[in-house]
Structure 1
């Protein structure tokens, strides 16, 4: 016969099996709140820090990381911590605009596919067409056509990141089309726009919200990528892509902090968006409601 105290205590320490663990949904909620809190803190800090903090101070140039300058300074004496925070805030703003526009396109395409075979074939063909071309190539072409800058980046990301989410929304909309309440509304003479906004869109909001959060890291990464090659934001803006592009000229001189800290900060923000999106998907998944 096993002793319960022996199972609960191993070598004077409580066993891992007896330690209370938070339910899965509570852990997902805490992870989502922590990730969103970090993103909001970075975004607010970028707006609260004034532009005067980016002024050049030649007496402080090329300083290594220290307590005064945690991320060091660049060749013009600008504080790299301030530049990184403002660059991340700018990237979050661009990513929000681009991801929102891309989510709206995906919602329109997915819902349109539920109204007729012809519309479904056209939407399916467009999804396959955009998925067959690499995102970055199409993004660079669109950004170049629209003249680069913030407008070119937002339009390019919006028109290249909607197909994957549109495929999910399209499948959900096709199932909703055959629902009884949709058929009743159609028999009562309700228009397609009324059915789409009153019946389909409320059911698709959880998928759209999760898709919006998961599109954020792709939008930020691709914004930094095309800015890095010179087709994105203006060089006068403290964007992460510009910071990384400028730092390449000084890495050989030993100024490693110019690229390491901004790059790690960008990865941290992107990872926060991934955690927030995955946690929200777990919270909205009905199959995990019992956790």
Structure 2
């Protein structure tokens, strides 16, 4: 009799497939970076065909290669910024709940302040202050995406502090640092991993948005934001493929990251063991 696949196994398979697809896009983008910069003026403004699946732009550059290179760059920036934001959120969330009321009040005020400013505006301001380019975009995105995850981790730590084994450890004189590392972190790991993965879609979209508006990556780089920004002036001439395929590819990558985060959340949820 054929064995039935439960929901947990389906989540594992789907998460593995999504991870492989995203990794393949990243690697292909790195390999095709030079090809994305090659120009061929004899093949300018060609519509999608068997030779150029995504068509070519006004300089004869293959849009498939440019899209893959742009997606790869966005994914790498997303990984870097999400890792920085996740680590900052973990430290800040634990510190707010462990270091006392004054520290909690100060950190909570900072979280409310950052969350009260429009995200894209804050990213642009930090990017400009850091000189734009790769460094500016990474700084802008990384320094603006930690508050929501920090607030979640803070709430979890406040609940854990009332657990009997935490109270016993405090009575026995165990340091706060050891309690946080040994007793609290294993319980925070599911929320931390899920939250960090779910930061990827936001990081990628904000990087592309800031670059599209001209406050991010330089125009020499084959970034998705640069591709979409340059394609706007050609849409009125009927060159629809210059924006359609890169835009759809960006949306697809964002959806894949969101799907991966949802599947990881299900896998880390103890209730899913019985599904």
The two structures have a TM-score, normalised by structure 2, of 0.95
Q: What CA distance in whole angstroms lies between the structure 2 residues aligned with 1:173 and 1:133?
A: 26
Could you give the per-residue CA deviations for residues 249-280 of structure 1, whole angstroms, max 9, x where no partner exists? 10111110000000000001000001000011
- Superposed CA deviations along residues 68-103 of structure 1, whole A, max 9, x for unmatched, are 100000000100000000000000011111111111
128 and 67 in structure 1: CA distance in 2 versus 1, 3 angstrom threshold: same
Structure 2 distance, partners of 1:233, 1:48, is 20
Q: In the superposition, relative to structure 1, how do residues 243 and 50 fare at CA in structure 2: closer, same or farther (>3 Å)? A: closer
4+ long deviations beyond 3 Å = 19-22
What displacement does 1:21 show?
Answer: 6.3
Max radius of gyration: which structure? Answer: 1
What's the Cα RMSD here?
1.6
> Aligned pairs, how many?
273
- Summarize the Cα distance change of 1:139–1:53 in structure 2 as closer, same or farther, 3 Å threshold: closer
**2:245 matched to which residue of 1?**
261
Matches of residues 265-284 of structure 1 in structure 2 within 5 Å? Answer: 265-284=249-268
**Partner SS for 1:65:** coil
Residue 130 of structure 2 corresponds to: 146
Counterparts of 2:79 and 2:160 in 1: how far apart (Å)? Answer: 28
Structure 2, unaligned stretches of length 5 or more? none
Matched, 1:107 2:90: yes
1:133 to 101, 117, 120: 117
2:71 corresponds to 1:88: yes
Measure, in 2, the Cα distance between the counterparts of 1:20 and 1:221: 41
Distance 1:249 1:23 in 2: 50
Gaps of 5+ in 1: 1-18
SS at 2:233 equivalent: coil
Q: Give yes or no for contact 2:36–2:63 (8 Å, CA) kept in 1.
A: no
Structure 1 residue aligned with 2:229? 245
Name which of 171, 189, 196 aligns with 2:155.
Answer: 171
Q: Secondary structure at the match of 1:250?
A: helix
The match for 2:205 among 210, 221, 225 is: 221
Q: Which residue number corresponds to residue 25 of structure 1?
A: 8
User: For residue 66 of structure 1, what is the aligned residue in structure 2?
Assistant: 49
The answer to whether the Cα contact below 8 Å between 2:47 and 2:55 also exists between their aligned partners in 1 is yes
Distance 2:143 2:36 in 1: 35
Q: Does the 8 Å contact 2:33/2:69 carry over to 1?
A: no
Give the Å deviation of 1:147.
1.1
